[in-house]
Structure 1
Amino acid sequence: MRIETGLFKRKGQKFCELPKENTNKSRKSRRRQRKSMSSVVQNLFETCKEVFAEGGAGFVPSPGHIERLRLVLDGMKLADVGLTQDMPYVRRIETEGAPPITYLRIHECDKFSIGIFCLPPSGIIPLHNHPGMTVFSKLLLGSMHIKSYDWVADVPHNTNTNLNPSHFHPPGIQLAKVKIDSVFSAPCNTSILYPAAGGNMHCFRALTSCVVIDVLGPPYSDPEGRHCTYYRDFPYASFSGGGGLVTEEEREGYAWLEEREEPQSLDVVVAMYRGPKIAER
């Protein structure tokens, strides 16, 4: 999903701080810890620079580069980005509707972006796409339900009067195949989606407090035509026009998607990233 500071209200920005201790031993320990954390985040940044060096819309890194970046993310922990599980970003909030989500921007350039989503329990990132992007998502904390889809190519529309009427479906509705419909709990492997495969359209629903680090290559860009589009999904059986497209046994693995405006319930707070800094050499 697109995250730009001007799109969302800044409010309630609170940051997690390490407890203060006065001993020389604790200061040395913190210095070692900061150096270790910095090396992990710096390594992620340097790896992204190389993996997406030739990047652009529709660019997919080589399998070797995909694996290299995946291994870096697979090894990352919550502490590596300077966060803890009791930080205010992910505490349960008593509110009507979906609770606010916090986004921490680590880095963004025209080749790639690195950021962190912090979701309190019941937090939802609605179904949205990633046009022309390769996306890596690593769950650092919590349990989350993820559902993702890919478009089904060459689905007939009701503009062709030569088609069997059982193949008709309403304009603006497209058929998609379910790629993932599962609960993930940290620690788990990094998920990867591609411009036309791997579940390019996905939604997140936090079952507990959750933290996800996201790498997008390239990032969203309205001037370059990479807009974030949101969708509603409908069960396959919702439209009789889908009757002859898949078998009865396959229907649970398909759904109809319809474009929608950005959901009014989506409340994202853009806050300052306070973790280890990146040296942009």
Structure 2
Amino acid sequence: MRIETNLRDRKEQEFRELPEERNNNSSKPKKNRRRKKSMPNVVQELFWTCTEVFARGGAGTVPSRRDVERLRSVLDHMQPADVGLSPDMPYFRANEPEGIPPITYLHLYECSRFSIGIFCLPPSAIIPLHNHPGMTVFSKLLFGSMHIKSFDWATDLPHATNQNLNSHIQPHGIRLAKIKTDSDFTAPCNTSILYPADGGNMHCFTALTSCAVLDVLGPPYSDSEGRPCTYYHDFPYASFSGDERLVPEEEREGYAWLEEIENPENLLVVGAMYRGPRIVEN
């Protein structure tokens, strides 16, 4: 999901600097001091891994299986403290007496090949159903519980030809999609990965408790490059009549119709300054 913010322009001045190492023992071997200084924090390791995994990135370009596993491994071992978060921070409090509470976005890094950011959700907050065109996305639930529902476009129906599948694009561009995930997740859990055409490219997050999700997008959203963020509303399969042979009756609960919508009115995302360990590019 794309977040518009001017925080990036101010981040260099306001990021918390990492404390410098202090060592008054001049007799300690220099090689040990060098080794200690070279140890990266987990956020820096994540950045370095992303620069390698997405080195030849572009819309629709999927990293190799080996690179996917490398990045997944780094994310799987990340903890809230690694990015300076804890559940008692103001971001995770449901202060709104009514309606859906706002979501806070912490921007860590963005370039033309990938972006890194954290969504902080109070209980009951919702990131509506949206897509990730041409992207490979890694989502790590740092803490808390959330419900994830995701879809891929239905392109491989065993009883459908391209002709009759295309004929079931409903008015207003409503298209048939297959449900990929419809489950609750509680940290610690494995990093979820979605691909340009598989893995649940369109997904929705609903916070069951306060929770934080670290997202890596490769490449990031870009209107100018044809990667805008599009939102959807989903309807049960039975909502529209059509060719009964398209999906067997016993499988229809696994499909839904998706309608493209304008930006949801009840979505409020506010930017805040990330104050965890700093990413150093050089």
Tell me, yes or no, whether TM beats 0.5: yes
Distance 1:36 1:177 in 2: 47
Conservation of the 8 A alpha-carbon contact between 1:37 and 1:80: no
Distance 2:202 2:230 in 1: 9
Query: Deviation per CA, 1:65-124, whole angstroms, max 9, x where unpaired?
Result: 000000000000000001111000001223322110000000000000000000000000
Q: Scaled by the length of structure 2, what TM-score is found?
A: 0.84
Runs of 4+ in 1 over 4 A off after TM superposition: 35-38
State the AA in 1 paired with 2:250: E
- Structure 1 residues 123, 143: CA separation in 2 closer, same or farther (over 3 Å shift)? same
Which sections of structure 2, spanning at least 5 residues, go unmatched? Answer: 8-14, 16-36, 156-161
Could you say what secondary structure the match of 2:171 adopts?
Answer: coil
Which sections of structure 1, spanning at least 5 residues, go unmatched? Answer: 8-14, 16-34, 159-166
Q: Say if 2:65 is the partner of 1:63.
A: yes
Could you say what secondary structure the match of 1:43 adopts?
Answer: helix
**Root-mean-square deviation over aligned CA pairs:** 2.0
Hey, what does 2:191 align to over in structure 1?
Answer: 190
Q: Say if 2:249 is the partner of 1:248.
A: yes
Conservation of the 8 A alpha-carbon contact between 2:169 and 2:176: no
Structure 1 residue 156: Cα displacement: 2.8
Q: Which region of structure 1 is more displaced relative to structure 2, 168-177 or 186-195?
A: 168-177
Query: Deviation per CA, 1:39-59, whole angstroms, max 9, x where unpaired?
Result: 100000000000000001111
Query: Deviation per CA, 1:150-176, whole angstroms, max 9, x where unpaired?
Result: 001235344xxxxxxxx6743411000
Q: Which region of structure 1 is more displaced relative to structure 2, 88-97 or 101-110?
A: 88-97
Distance 1:100 1:250 in 2: 36
Distance 1:82 1:126 in 2: 26
Conservation of the 8 A alpha-carbon contact between 1:169 and 1:240: no
Conservation of the 8 A alpha-carbon contact between 2:112 and 2:219: yes
Q: How many residues align?
A: 247
Distance 1:223 1:94 in 2: 36
Q: Say if 2:156 is the partner of 1:156.
A: no
Percent identity between matched residues is 73
Hey, what does 1:236 align to over in structure 2?
Answer: 237
- Structure 1 residues 79, 38: CA separation in 2 closer, same or farther (over 3 Å shift)? farther
Could you say what secondary structure the match of 1:5 adopts?
Answer: coil
